[in-house]
Structure 1
Amino acid sequence: MTRSSRPALGTFIFFALSLGLATYFTFAAVQGDFGLFRRAEIVAEADALQVQLEDVQSAVVRMENLTQRLSDDYLDLDLLDEQARSVLGMIRADEIVIR
């Protein structure tokens, strides 16, 4: 009884299967739904949304200021005059219009 010098078929299948699974999980860790590339996209999107949030917050503060200045409790006559002129399209007699 002589023993063959070639490796057993079971060992080959085990290592092939192990290599295949390692390749699959590595690919999933990089390219998958929760992989590294998706994480980079989420971080970039979060940064863009943070900038947009800051823009919206500054616009809200500006509108709150204008609303408060035109309220019944506090009336800014200069702002009221500016708004009335822009809506009605009128000027005073002593003003010069430059286009």
Structure 2
Amino acid sequence: MTRSNRPNFGAFFFFAAAFAVGAYFTFAAVQGDYGLFRRVEIAAEADALRADLDGLNAEIARMENLTHRLSDDYLDLDLLDQQARSVLGMLRADEIVIR
């Protein structure tokens, strides 16, 4: 039996299709909606949101402290004086304003 010298295009198309499918799934695993890059973006966004949450919790704690210091149970006269001066814009007679 003799072999023909015809190129085998069936095997070429099979391997080309397999390569294309592999390349597509590799691209989707890296760049897709659930890929590695998106995962890194989500992790960075989560870190930024945690930092914002920590800042907001600190601000809430500061406001709760100020509110407690002006409550009926505990009255900080220095803070009350500072707030009254700030809101009313008043000064004592012995004070000098520097702008």
Give the CA deviation at 1:48.
Answer: 1.0
TM-score w.r.t. structure 1 length? 0.91
Give the CA deviation at 1:59.
Answer: 0.2
Query: Which digits, 9 at most, give the CA deviation of each residue in 1:21-46, with x for residues without a partner?
Result: 00000110111001111111111111
Report what 1:15 is aligned to.
Answer: 15
Report what 1:83 is aligned to.
Answer: 83
Report what 2:64 is aligned to.
Answer: 64
Structure 1 portions without partners, runs of 5+: none
Q: Once the two structures are aligned, what percentage of the paired residues are identical?
A: 71
RMSD value over aligned CA atoms? 1.4
Report what 1:51 is aligned to.
Answer: 51
TM-score w.r.t. structure 2 length? 0.91
Q: May I ask how many residue pairs the two structures share in their alignment?
A: 99
- Distance in 2, Cα, partners of 1:70 & 1:92: 21
2:40 counterpart of 1:40: yes
Give the CA deviation at 1:7.
Answer: 4.8
- Distance in 2, Cα, partners of 1:16 & 1:6: 19
Give the CA deviation at 1:84.
Answer: 0.6
Give the CA deviation at 1:8.
Answer: 3.3
Report what 1:93 is aligned to.
Answer: 93
Q: In the alignment, residue 83 of structure 2 is paired with which amino acid? A: Q
Query: Which digits, 9 at most, give the CA deviation of each residue in 1:46-78, with x for residues without a partner?
Result: 111111111101100000000000111111111
